[in-house]
A and B are shown apart, each in its own frame.
Chain A
Amino acid sequence: MSTEAAARYLIIMPAHNEAENLPRVLPEMRVAAPGFDLLVVNDGSNDRTAAVAASMGATVVSLPVNLGYGAAVQTGFRYAVIHGYDLGVVMDADGQHDPAGIHGLVAAVAGGGADVAVGSRFRGRMDYHQPWVKRLGMKVFAWTASRITGRTVTDPTSGFQAFNRDAMRFFARDNYPVDYPDADTLLILHYAGFRVVEVPVTMRERMSGISRMHSGLKPIYYVGKMWLAIAMVLLRQKTHLSAQRVVSA
C-alpha cells in the first residue's frame, strides 16, 4: 500500500431496512464529508436499502442474510482493509449521527494521537429523550469501562466512531462482537494497546423506523450479555494471543 498517495477515508454505514432514511442521510453526509468514500453495508434488508444506496452513489456490500450490527460493521472493516483505506468512520444510517461530527473524529485519529475516536453524545449534544433505565444502564457501563481503562469513558454505546488502519485490521480479524459493540469493545482495544479518545458529537432523534433495542426482553438480555462479555474480556486478555495490536509497517 503506497503511503505517498493521499490518505483515503471511508465512511462505513451498516444499514438494515433504512431505505426511507438513506435519501436524507446520504446527501447530508456528502455535504459534510466530501472526499470520503462511502460504503453502505446492507445487512440483509427486506426493503430497497441496497438499490437506494447504490442510486445515490454509495458502494454497496450486501449481506445475503441479516447478520446483526457488529457483523455488518466488521464487514465494513474487511472492505476497508482489502481496499487499503487509511481511516474508517462508522456511523448509523438512520440519521441519528450528525455528520458534522465526522471531522472531529477524523481529526483525532488522522493526527496520530489516537487509534480510535469515539463520538460521545454526553460530551457533545443529545437532541432527544432517552428512557431513564437506558440512561442508567449506559452510566453503569461507562463507569465500569472508565474504572478498568483508567480513562473517562462517557459513551461506550456510541456507534459513531473513527478507526485508523491498525484498529480496522485488528477488528477485521476476529475481535469484533457480532451483535452490539459496547464497553467490551473499548476494553478489548484497551488491553490490545490501542489508544482510544472520546470526541464530542451530536446525536439526534432517528428519522424513521424502529430503533434496535427498545422492545420486550431485549434490554434485559443485552445487559446480561454485556456483563458476561466484559468479564470474558477481562479473563481473556492475558491468554488470547490474537488480541494483540499489530502495527502496520
Chain B
Amino acid sequence: MNPMTRIYVFLLGLAVLIFVINMVRTRRLQERYALLWLLAGLVLAIAPLFANQLDRLATAMGFDYAPALLLMLAVIGLLLMIFQISLNITSQSEHLKVLTQELGLLRQEVEALAEAKAKAKVETEARVEPDELRQGDEEGAA
C-alpha cells in the first residue's frame, strides 16, 4: 500500500470514528447501534498501520489479490450491519402492531365511556329538573 493511501484510509477511519462518537454524544444514535459502526471506523483506521501484515495474511490464506481479503471483510461487516437492522425492523414492527391495536381498542373504550357518561348526564338532568322546579315552588310559597 502506498504511504499516501495509508494516510487517507487512516484519516477516513478517524473521521468515521469521530462522526459516530459525535452522533452518540448528541443522542442521535443509540450506543447499541453505534458499536458496529465504531468497529468499522476502527478497522479503517488500523488497517493501514498493518497493511504489510494484512498482505501476508491474505497470501497465506490463498488470496491471489490481497485487497480482496479486505473487501471480503468489509462485505461481511456490511451484511452484519444490515442484518442487525432487519432484526430491529422485525421487533419494531411487532411493537408497532401491538401499540396500534391497543390504541384502537382503547379509543373505542374511551368513546364508549364518553358516550355512556353523556347519556347518564342527560338522564340525571332529566331527573333533577322536576325536583328543582318543586324546590322553586316551595321557595315561592314560602
Contacts and interface: CB of A to CB of B under 8 A. Distances in A.
A75 interface: yes
A61 B100 contact: no
Nearest to B109: A82
A52 interface: no
B97 A64 contact: no
B108 interface: yes
Nearest to A62: B104
Contact of A67 (B97, B105, B107, B108): B97
A75 B107 contact: no
A82 B105 contact: yes
Interface string A55-94: 0000111111101000100110011001000000000000
A63 B108 contact: no
B141 to A, nearest CB: 48
B101 interface: yes
Nearest to B111: A60
Contacts of B103: 63-64
A213 B110 CA distance: 35
Interface in B71-113: 93, 97, 100-101, 103-105, 107-108, 112
Say which size band chain B's interface belongs to: 10 to 19
Interface residues of A, number: 16
A41 interface: yes
A246 interface: no
Contact of B108 (A60, A65, A71): A60
A74 B101 contact: yes
Nearest to B107: A62
A37 to B, nearest CB: 13
Interface string B103-129: 111011000100000000000000000
Interface of B: 93, 97, 100-101, 103-105, 107-108, 112
Given A59-B108, A67-B101, A79-B105, 13 more contacts: A41-B104, A59-B112, A61-B104, A61-B105, A61-B107, A61-B108, A62-B104, A63-B101, A63-B103, A64-B100, A71-B100, A75-B104, A178-B93
